[in-house]
Structure 1
């Protein structure tokens, strides 16, 4: 579990240090304070050896449709603060399970860069740009590379297989969700998904994978009174709860990153969600990070974690200042005290 992180020159963050991360971390702050950027940095800190692949995945979600990964200025430059790819960015972190690590990602000169174990370049190919990711743990350094050549974009092989989930603000049921639900069903563990969906609709009796036309498998929700209904025809809250349920049920010891956790959810289901997250993160050993703009969401989390005597909650408030972003970390008791005094902590 990550306990601290320092971020320098990553996206909109020039410098940020956060100490005292918990099992469940709720990130708050004004627009453009760096909430999502911090959550992405935490994703990289959790699996620095796969930083290039994770960055590529996040950029594909972010950039305009049709933007080519080979287009360095459009695809890769926005990752770096003030577009300074040559200066690069750095992320340092500490955790309870591994040695402190440092990740540096920067643009490299292409001449003579990619040799030996870093990447095998096709004979006769010429690089037009290259990024390197260097991970330091004590005296040991490892490096991975991505480069663009006249024969296409080439990655170093993946270094690790550490599980993580990123859940976007708008529900999107994709192939990964279907694969994980299928695996849960094969293992007889899909009841966890059904149980969470009942917080939204108490008529839910099951979740099925069906292919009515014989071509594409889709998710259906079984309701006691109405029978089977395609998930994509149900409300945003049901689809969002489904994403949460699959992510938590399908993983052990991973990290889950939820952008704007309250999106699409009625206020009445926020506390049941936090209750479920408190229990699921303890049972699964999952560290969770989420962003929110909602003070109600923060206070709901505080009430639930207090009621369950769970001290694993941290609320991280970000305030963007000149040359630095300040982070204030509240534990469950401090959030409760702020609510009692009528003080709004979200910024």
Structure 2
């Protein structure tokens, strides 16, 4: 998922580093060596400088290839991480940038990225500068793990957009299909005039803060809300079935496909649950499925497995094919 998100970032290094390097540790880094080590882990081959990798996406009807090339040359300060690299050509910050006497950060290395004929070179320092590095991405992208809905301000950003564009009531009706106790979603300001929490009015006229509900309701609000907020985007959602009651999986599956089409989003979903995979496929291709056999198939199912020679093998099926193979042969679609 990090690879998909990094490709969407394109030349926009800041979000790519934040997601692929820092997010897994909740942004906690003990020092520049820890930060550098996390960057090292992004690359498979680490015995020769610069470290390199490439990511390719085929987009549109023409299947045009967009290759993202990444190179990283660490600074000499990171030599202690791997003595095998000693003696090779490390990056030298003094050769690339003017040193600021007030800058107490540590130079980590040089990051080079290229896509579609455009390239950018960055001097990476620890800690990352406030505000980060911001350039126009290749494509708008968002990535969500199983706890992203708990991030501060996450719900408020979604509600603000829904309120601004007058779709709170419509969104509430869709949530009521699963969470029948919901009557209204609103934000109540505090007496001092500051914005308050998002409240859910339930059937007995009580108003309860959204954060007080279970992760299922909160994640539903967050994920589907973000698909409305971030249109024309790539959404990478890890463990899509997590936190949701199994009885909600069928409706969730249909709404994901509907929202992807309605707001022109592309979704990358992961799951280790074969039960969810069956529910997802049946909701789309079963007797009362959303997608008829004559319709264009918007779903691809990818199964990743390690081969005997320790390479990653990818098995790709259309949604219809995956449904039929599960029905007829019970093939395990998990890696």
TM-score (norm 2): 0.79
Aligned to 2:12: 50
Q: Which moved more, 1:305-314 or 1:208-217?
A: 208-217
Relative distance call for 1:172 and 1:181 in structure 2 (3 A) is same
Q: Which of 22, 25, 32 pairs up with 1:63?
A: 25
Which of 223, 238, 263 matches 2:202? 223
Which of 92, 95, 116 is equivalent to 1:111? 92
Judge conservation of contact 1:196–1:245 (CA < 8 Å) in 2.
Answer: no
2:268 to 286, 289, 299: 289
Contact 1:196 1:241 in 2 (8 A): no
Provide the aligned C-alpha RMSD in A: 2.9
Q: 2:51 aligns with which of 78, 87, 90?
A: 87
Q: CA offset at residue 276 of structure 1? A: 0.7
Bigger mean CA offset, 181-190 vs 67-76: 67-76
1:144 to 105, 108, 121: 121
Distance change >3 Å, CA 54–CA 211, structure 1 → 2: farther
Task: Measure, in 2, the Cα distance between the counterparts of 1:254 and 1:183.
Answer: 16
After superposition, residues 238-249 of structure 1 pair within 5 angstroms as 238-249=217-228
Q: CA deviation at 1:52?
A: 4.4
Q: How many residues align?
A: 302
Q: Cα offset for 1:329?
A: 1.0
Between stretches 169-178 and 179-188, larger displacement belongs to: 169-178
Measure, in 1, the Cα distance between the counterparts of 2:159 and 2:5.
23
- Aligned mate of 1:163, from 114, 134, 140: 140
Per the alignment, do residues 124 and 101 of structure 1 end up closer, same or farther by CA in structure 2, a change over 3 Å counting?
A: same
Which position in structure 2 is the counterpart of 1:24?
none
Q: Which has the higher strand share?
A: 1
Q: Given that residues 45 and 103 in structure 1 are in contact (C-alpha distance below 8 angstroms), is that contact kept between their aligned partners in structure 2?
A: no
Q: CA deviation at 1:345?
A: 2.0
Deviations 1:31-76 (A, max 9, x none): xxxxxxxx11011112211144322234322126641574434442
**Aligned pair in 2 of structure 1 residues 144, 74: CA closer, same or farther (>3 Å)?**
same
Counterparts of 1:91-102 in structure 2, within 5 Å, are 91-96=55-60, 100-102=66-68
Q: Identify the residue that residue 261 of structure 1 maps to in structure 2.
A: 240
Which protein is richer in helix relative to its size? 2
Distance 2:310 2:95 in 1: 34
Q: Compare 267-276 and 72-81 and name the one that shifted more.
A: 72-81
Moved more, 313-322 or 79-88: 79-88
The two structures have a TM-score, normalised by structure 1, of 0.76
Give the Cα separation in 1 of the matches to 2:94 and 2:154: 35
1:308 CA displacement: 1.7
Conserved 8 A contact 1:145-1:156: no
1:271: Cα distance to partner? Answer: 0.4
Shift of 1:114: 6.2
Q: For residues 68 and 114 of structure 1, what CA distance do their matches in structure 2 show?
A: 27
Per the alignment, residue 191 of structure 1 pairs with 169
Which segments of 5 or more consecutive residues in structure 2 lack a partner in the other structure? 75-89
Tell me the secondary structure at the aligned position of residue 88 of structure 1.
strand
Structure with bigger gyration radius: 2
